[in-house]
Structure 1
Amino acid sequence: MLAAMDSQIESLYTERGVEGVRPRFAYPLIRLAHTGPLTIRELADSLDRSHSAMSQTVSAMRREGLVDTEPGADARTRRIILTDRGRDLVPFLEAEWRATEAAVAELDDEVPCPLSAVVTELERALARRPMRDRILSHLEGSLPDPAPRP
């Protein structure tokens, strides 16, 4: 469902002439516009994302010419900065972000249980018992080992 929603947001971008931008880029680009340059760690922490996920997002944004890097405080760090193209897109992305939040609120009013509550409950359930463990419990005894040991 989330992939379908992201696809529709992406199609909206394309309809508006915004090419090469994915919905997952919006929040990091908006954050960089408001804070100025940040390291990947700082950006990840500020958005409550993992370093790995943010590193992948930054790489993808860099390929699309939305961000660049500059030397950080020491030789080991690089700071992420907006390019002119990235900066120019921020007003549109902020408007889209607000519109998406309004659309989610509208959806919450139409269904018996708010989407945000469902997500919170799913996160709690997966914290109690991770998806991997749940899948393994259903696989045990039903499939042969894919790589038999000699």
Structure 2
Amino acid sequence: MLAALDAQIETVYAERGIEGVRPRFAYPLIRLAHTGPLTIRELAESLGRSHSAMSQTISAMRREGLVDSEPGADARTRRVTLTGRSRALIPFLEAEWRATEAAVAELDEEVPHALSAVVTELTRALERRPMRDRILAHLVEPAAGPARTDTSAPIDPSS
């Protein structure tokens, strides 16, 4: 579902001629616009994300010409900076962020359980017991032998 929501946000970008920008880029770009250059670690901590996830996001944004880097306080660190292209996008990204928050609030009013509360509860449940563990608890591996040849009853991913 989150992928579908992101795809809808991407269509808003595309309809405005904004290419190469993904929804996951908006918050880091907005944060950099408000704070100035930050290391990947500083940016990750300020957004409550892992260093690894933020590093991947920064790499993707760099490929799209949205961020650059400059030397940090020592030879081991680099500070992430906005490019002219991303600075020009910030007003739109801020407006889109506010509009997305309003749309989520609207959805929360339409459904019996607030989307944000459901996401929080799912996150907590997965912290207690990761999805991997849940899958492994239900996984019954086939006995060794020939590969499945019965294609008359395909697996239905929706069931």
Query: Is the shorter-chain TM-score for this pair beyond 0.5, marking a shared fold?
Result: yes
Q: How many residue pairs were aligned?
A: 144
Provide the aligned C-alpha RMSD in A: 1.1
Amino acid aligned to 1:28: P
**Tell me, what secondary structure is at the counterpart of 2:142?**
coil
Amino acid aligned to 1:67: V
Is 1:142 the counterpart of 2:146? The answer is: no
Amino acid aligned to 2:126: L
Structure 1: gaps (5+ residues): 146-150
The residue that corresponds to 1:101 in the other structure is 101
C-alpha displacement of 1:142:
3.1
**Tell me, what secondary structure is at the counterpart of 2:70?**
strand
Please show how residues 1-150 of structure 1 align to structure 2 within 5 Å.
1-139=1-139, 141-144=140-143
Sort the Cα spacing of 1:144 and 1:79 in 2 relative to 1 into closer, same or farther, 3 A. Answer: farther
Which range moves more in the overlay, 78-87 or 122-131? 122-131
Q: Distance in 1 between matches of 2:102 and 2:126?
A: 27
C-alpha displacement of 1:144:
5.0
Structure 2: gaps (5+ residues): 145-159
Q: Distance in 1 between matches of 2:39 and 2:104?
A: 31
Q: Distance in 2 between matches of 1:78 and 1:125?
A: 36
C-alpha displacement of 1:54:
0.4
Q: Distance in 2 between matches of 1:15 and 1:114?
A: 29
Sort the Cα spacing of 1:74 and 1:112 in 2 relative to 1 into closer, same or farther, 3 A. Answer: same
Q: Distance in 2 between matches of 1:80 and 1:35?
A: 11
**Tell me, what secondary structure is at the counterpart of 2:17?**
coil
C-alpha displacement of 1:120:
1.1
- Identical counterparts, % of pairs: 81
